[in-house]
A and B are shown apart, each in its own frame.
Chain A
């Protein structure tokens, strides 16, 4: 039986995700150059001990991301920073295949320089004021650019899964926990 040509629903479907990331970052590099030194805008991140794969810059990007994703709230009064979710991400990524490690490290760099690349701001993600950082991150999920939505989706999936898997969160969402009780992983 013949198969009709599938309809493409986004213009860059011919690019693999890896190639897409590389192209985007290369383009971003040009923009950064003309912007006069994006790296200087990023500044130094504090040292972090015990990371398996990521560097302090990526750790700081993820920490800011966690603040945006799980803000202090009266609805769920849980301090997400106390869970050290960026370190969990680092541990998870360290056991993933090299190709994925490269993709995600690139994606984190893209998130960090997102305000410069996509909004022509003079701040990196970590250096944006918190309210503006939240608004900027919202833009990733709704972006017309598939790459930004893909990055948003991937990071959102990981952090949501591990955050809502925490017993400290369950009382606030009406979940009584596993029916046979909690078994430590």
Chain B
């Protein structure tokens, strides 16, 4: 077997392909699975809808990069446009476009899964070796103090002034030059994401990655050989071209909580839980204006977190509370989050170099579902619950206090109309924040749970080994399976769980 990346917009795949394993998706779950299984001697083919972009092909330009690196060209959202859903669409998946935050799955979350969701094998002790392997895969390290850019240093100063708990985060960059465009890809390939770790290793071990290949159906799910139907796309990934099939003994879904559920629903596979229990973990930005330049577009966008209000061992929910982290993007995407229009919008953007923004990261309970439209596209339904709104308000208040303590002249939440504060006394205004659909900029970057792992098919869509109930040899190895929010950032937990489930799968295959 000889491993390779084959771009289906340029050439067709080999005919009559029969393989041991077909993996759908090449991100943290799929890339990891492909590597582990190929290194164990299995013949692996990976189907990836996105293209392969590295180095200077990552142009640092909003228009081109959101179009090419994100699902639905950056336009994916819930059906009511209430939540923007950011999801990677590239070889390497979400790891290509995330902010490189490494936050391992906490012991408290795993205990919650054991005790409340019956996943008795997911103990902290059982997962610990895989968590360590995930951190190795990511070359995870603590960000150095002198790498904190101005907004992160300011938030840290404000947090320390208030006496709150906070931390400099871990990341998966090596050789970072602080270019500041992590959310639209790193043009010097400093991210140790699947594209530069698991995928090359998988190829070395013989795995083949088909890019611009959209999986559209799985048939014969109870048979020895499953049939996977997929379509090639054009070079920019806009239109479907030709239809192909391959056959595989095992199919592993790792296309994100949206895509994995979508494919099962399109194929008519699984039980009634498929598509349900979706968590979007919606985040909301809060923006501070300073008198001096902050140059938020340079340096590592996200390197410090206020962790004072986060709980990782809530008995009812596992991960709960909230945390606050700075973030910033290129001008195009930042302008889309501001609530001002016309002359006021232009004026607001003239303050771009003086801004600092933070994200309010608030874990949620299952509150949504994935459905499939007649043309096969996913329909994402989500309702923000009252308890989530309450914690967003509390997070906005805390973040505002930290920014003001750091010397901000004004802090505002970019709802329509915006809510702002200039003094500590005014931050109580955030207690009245409203969350009207399409008037509150909620953003989801960590979708989880639409093919939930459960000890019995009464409670979930896949068993604790990742096998989809009602199938023989169709698995989910990504965040789809998480029964509650795994972490404020899901990259490390997905790699951890994928590695763990691969080992379980190999043990069964050998038996």
- Smallest CB–CB gap between B434 and chain A, Å? 9
Interface string of B458-497 (1 = CB under 8 A from A): 0100000000000000000000000100000000000000
A129 contacts the other chain (CB 8 A): no
- Smallest CB–CB gap between A143 and chain B, Å? 9
Docked complex Cα distance between A71 and B437 (Å): 27
B161 contacts the other chain (CB 8 A): no
Q: Which of A146, A152, A156, A160 contacts B332 (CB 8 A)?
A: A160
- Smallest CB–CB gap between A130 and chain B, Å? 11
B455 contact set on A, CB distance < 8 A = none
Number of A-B contacts (CB under 8 A): 171
Provided the pairs A17-B81, A150-B80 are in contact, do residues A165 and B332 lie with their beta carbons within 8 angstroms?
Answer: yes
- Smallest CB–CB gap between A75 and chain B, Å? 5
Interface string of B353-384 (1 = CB under 8 A from A): 11000000000011100000101010100011
Are B437 and A10 closer than 8 Å at their CB atoms? Answer: yes
B196 contacts the other chain (CB 8 A): no
Provided the pairs A17-B81, A157-B336 are in contact, do residues A146 and B438 lie with their beta carbons within 8 angstroms?
Answer: yes
Are A138 and B342 closer than 8 Å at their CB atoms? Answer: yes
B117 contact set on A, CB distance < 8 A = 1
A24 contacts the other chain (CB 8 A): no
B66 contact set on A, CB distance < 8 A = 161
Provided the pairs A146-B436, A183-B60, A185-B64 are in contact, do residues A162 and B341 lie with their beta carbons within 8 angstroms?
Answer: no
Are B342 and A137 closer than 8 Å at their CB atoms? Answer: yes
A182 contact set on B, CB distance < 8 A = 61
A30 contact set on B, CB distance < 8 A = none
Are B353 and A175 closer than 8 Å at their CB atoms? Answer: yes
Provided the pairs A17-B81, A163-B335 are in contact, do residues A179 and B298 lie with their beta carbons within 8 angstroms?
Answer: yes
Q: In this complex, what residue of A is CB-closest to B81?
A: A150
Which stretch of B121-129, B343-351, B503-511 is in the interface? B343-351
Provided the pairs A97-B377, A173-B349, A179-B181 are in contact, do residues A10 and B436 lie with their beta carbons within 8 angstroms?
Answer: yes
Interface string of A145-175 (1 = CB under 8 A from B): 0100110111011001111110001101111
A46 contacts the other chain (CB 8 A): no
A4 contact set on B, CB distance < 8 A = 385
Q: In this complex, what residue of A is CB-closest to B483?
A: A1
A150 contact set on B, CB distance < 8 A = 80-81, 437-438
B483 contact set on A, CB distance < 8 A = 1
Q: Which of B177, B298, B349, B383 contacts A13 (CB 8 A)?
A: B383
Q: Which of B181, B238, B343 contacts A71 (CB 8 A)?
A: B343
- Smallest CB–CB gap between A146 and chain B, Å? 5
Are B349 and A164 closer than 8 Å at their CB atoms? Answer: yes
Provided the pairs A9-B384, A76-B346 are in contact, do residues A183 and B59 lie with their beta carbons within 8 angstroms?
Answer: yes
Docked complex Cα distance between A161 and B73 (Å): 12
| CB<8 Å pairs between A and B, sample of 11 | A7-B385, A68-B342, A71-B342, A71-B346, A95-B236, A160-B336, A162-B62, A169-B331, A173-B352, A178-B60, A183-B61
Binding site for A on B (CB under 8 A): 56, 59-64, 66, 73-75, 79-81, 116-117, 177-181, 187-188, 236, 238-239, 277, 293, 297-298, 330-336, 338-339, 341-343, 345-347, 349-350, 352-354, 365-367, 373, 375, 377, 379, 383-386, 416-417, 435-439, 459, 483
